[in-house]
């Protein structure tokens, strides 16, 4: 056991970020070896974590529900796709604005207000699906729902940075939230599909709104986790973008790879006669990402800066993505896409760690949400690019676009590492 100051031996485990346990009891030994035990031992951590997971439901359930409404009452996948696109784009913009408002006015009042607007949007979407199939009204209601949906991952990450005060524990907290991100997309879509199969095409939207309200109540009930208010930035959104411009570019490039990869996966599996194996390929990719998050969360001794760790993680992700463009046949492709999955969550963990480390204990929800918005826009662009490439060259050859996309992704990240060497963190300034 590491040496600790004598006055820490009587302190609770959460009072000192570098100390988790002070005895060698069996339970203490287990807490050292179990990932996330040291961060989850903090008062309110379990409630916040579970609440944050539940409140993430809209991003994994609503798009599927909107597509089901389009293909059901409207008998048009185009309408459903347009509604899902309106939700996603509005959410990318709205989550960033909500995050900034939460930084300046407090999480609790902003989350309560957005909950009211979100529920109104869910009611409107459900009413359109059941009573009045109007395409324009559905798209407008979907945009309202998306604009009122906070980036709960960003909100929770900002709350973590206010209660953990050392880089190793912040990394572990970021890893835990990445596990929640993956768990959300492992649980949400099957649950949405179950509701749709039972005949409730509006069910995923209604259930997501309900889950969001429940999760939000759990999160804001932990008053001690409320971050300190930030003064309004006179530079506004432009200042936030200038401060995180390279991260935004890298986030968009990462999103483009993910969006293109998903479309290419669907098309390639179908092209090689393995359409029935699409679900397995997606599940293994997501499961591998979750495992990667847990492995990163179990590591405590980080010697490099967050920017360098992010660069290494991004390079690994790019290198593991390239084989998915080169292999031939379903089984080799299944193996390649699973291996690529291991690099997804670790990369996002280190990207979020850059924000947390750069800001010290004053990381903003708006900054996290801005990066998340970049990923969403990138996914949309990558999905469209993948579709165009498939139409032009076929599913197999279209996969080659992943190679230049991987190279483009790394450039702003490496530039960010160079700039970071000259920029002190906020915590260093203090």
Highest mean pLDDT among 14-18, 100-104, 152-156: 152-156
Share of the chain above pLDDT 70, in %: 82
- Nearest-angstrom CA–CA distance, 32 and 26: 10
Whether residue 3 is predicted with pLDDT greater than 50 in this model: the reply is no
Q: Please state the rounded mean pLDDT for residues 83-96.
A: 87
Q: What is the pTM of this model?
A: 0.74
Q: Please state the rounded mean pLDDT for residues 301-320.
A: 85
Query: Domain extents for the chain?
Result: 11-40, 42-227, 235-430
Model confidence at 215, in pLDDT bands (50, 70, 90)? very high
**Residue 25 pLDDT:** 43
Share of the chain above pLDDT 90, in %: 28
**Residue 210 pLDDT:** 96
Whether residue 426 is predicted with pLDDT greater than 50 in this model: the reply is no
Q: Which is more confident, 145 or 97?
A: 145
Joined tokens for residue 326: 């080169």
Joined tokens for residue 168: 């190793």
Q: Please state the rounded mean pLDDT for residues 172-196.
A: 85
- Nearest-angstrom CA–CA distance, 383 and 398: 12
Q: What angle do CA 205, 208, 214 make, to 5 degrees?
A: 145
- Nearest-angstrom CA–CA distance, 265 and 85: 20
Q: Which is more confident, 214 or 10?
A: 214
Q: What angle do CA 337, 342, 345 make, to 5 degrees?
A: 120
- Nearest-angstrom CA–CA distance, 92 and 236: 17
Write the CATH number of the domain with boundaries 42-227.
Answer: 1.20.1250.20
Q: Please state the rounded mean pLDDT for residues 129-143.
A: 90
What is the distance, to the nearest Å, from the Cα of residue 195 to the centroid of all Cα atoms in its chain?
A: 24
Model confidence at 113, in pLDDT bands (50, 70, 90)? very high
SS (H, E, C) the chain: CCCCCHHHCCCCCCCCCCCCCCCCCHHHHHHHHCCCHHHHCCCCHHHHHHHHHHHCHHHHHHHHHHHHHHHCCCCCHHHHHHHHHHHHHHHHHHHHHHHHHHHHHCHHHHHHHHHHHHHHHHHHHHHHHHCCCCHHHHHHHHHHHHHCCCCHHHHHHHHHHCCCCCHHHHHHHHHHHHHHHHHHHHHHHHHHHHHHHCCCCCHHHHHHHHHHHHHHHHHHCCHHHCCCCCCCCCCHHHHHHHHCHHHHHHHHHHHHHHHHHHHHHHHHHHHCCCHHHHHHHHHHHHHHHHHHHHHHHCCCCCCCCHHHHHHHHHHHHHHHHCHHHHCCCHHHHHHHHHHHHCCHHHHHHHHHHHHHHHHHHHCCHHHHHHHHHHHHHHHHHHHHHHHHHHHHHCHHHHHHHHHHHHHHHHHHHHHHHHHHCCCCCHHHHC
**Residue 108 pLDDT:** 92
- Nearest-angstrom CA–CA distance, 137 and 427: 48
Highest mean pLDDT among 90-94, 245-249, 298-302: 90-94
Model confidence at 270, in pLDDT bands (50, 70, 90)? confident
Model confidence at 29, in pLDDT bands (50, 70, 90)? very low
Domains 42-227 and 235-430 share a fold: yes
- 92-106, 228-242, 390-404: segment of lowest average pLDDT: 228-242
**Residue 206 pLDDT:** 95
**Residue 217 pLDDT:** 96
**Residue 235 pLDDT:** 53
Q: Which CATH number fits domain 235-430: 3.40.50.740, 1.20.1250.20, 3.20.20.70, 1.10.1740.10?
A: 1.20.1250.20
Q: Please state the rounded mean pLDDT for residues 198-216.
A: 94
Model confidence at 420, in pLDDT bands (50, 70, 90)? low
Mean pLDDT taken over the chain? 81
**Residue 425 pLDDT:** 47
Q: Please state the rounded mean pLDDT for residues 334-340.
A: 94
């Amino acid at each position: 056991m590491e040496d600790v100051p004598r006055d820490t031996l009587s302190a609770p485990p959460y009072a000192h970020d570098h100390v988790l346990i002070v005895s060698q009891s069996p339970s203490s030994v287990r807490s050292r070896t179990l990932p996330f035990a040291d961060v989850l031992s903090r008062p309110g951590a379990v409630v916040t974590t579970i609440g944050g997971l539940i409140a993430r439901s809209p991003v994994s359930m609503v798009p599927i529900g909107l597509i089901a409404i389009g293909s059901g009452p409207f008998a048009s996948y185009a309408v459903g796709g347009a509604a899902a696109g309106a939700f996603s784009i509005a959410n990318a913009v709205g989550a960033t604005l909500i995050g900034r408002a939460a930084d300046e006015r407090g999480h609790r009042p902003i989350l309560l207000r957005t909950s009211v607007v979100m529920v109104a949007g869910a009611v409107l979407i459900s009413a359109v699906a059941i009573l009045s199939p109007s395409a324009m009204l559905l798209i407008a209601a979907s945009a309202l729902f998306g604009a009122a949906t906070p980036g709960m991952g960003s909100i929770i990450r900002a709350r973590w940075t206010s209660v953990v005060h050392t880089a190793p524990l912040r990394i572990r907290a970021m890893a835990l939230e990445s596990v929640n991100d993956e768990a959300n997309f492992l649980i949400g879509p099957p649950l949405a599909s179950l509701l749709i199969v039972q005949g409730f095409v509006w069910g995923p939207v209604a259930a997501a709104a309900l889950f969001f309200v429940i999760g939000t109540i759990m999160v804001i009930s932990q008053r001690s986790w409320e971050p300190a208010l930030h003064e309004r930035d006179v530079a506004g959104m432009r200042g936030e973008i200038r401060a995180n411009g390279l991260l935004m570019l890298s986030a968009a490039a990462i999103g483009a790879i993910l969006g293109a990869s998903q479309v290419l996966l669907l098309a390639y599996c179908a092209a090689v006669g393995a359409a029935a194996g699409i679900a397995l390929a997606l599940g293994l990719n997501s499961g591998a990402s979750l495992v990667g998050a847990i492995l990163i969360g179990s590591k405590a001794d980080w010697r490099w800066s967050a920017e360098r760790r992010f660069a290494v993680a991004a390079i690994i992700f790019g290198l593991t993505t390239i084989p998915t463009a080169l292999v031939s046949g379903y089984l080799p492709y299944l193996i390649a896409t699973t291996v690529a999955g291991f690099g997804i969550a670790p990369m996002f963990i280190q990207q979020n760690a850059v924000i947390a480390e750069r800001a010290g204990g004053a990381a903003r929800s708006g900054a996290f949400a801005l990066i998340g918005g970049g990923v969403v826009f990138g996914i949309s662009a990558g999905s469209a690019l993948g579709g165009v490439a498939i139409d032009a060259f076929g599913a197999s050859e279209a996969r080659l676009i992943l190679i230049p996309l991987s190279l483009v992704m790394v450039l702003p990240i490496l530039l960010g590492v160079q700039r970071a060497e000259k920029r002190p963190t906020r915590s260093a300034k203090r």
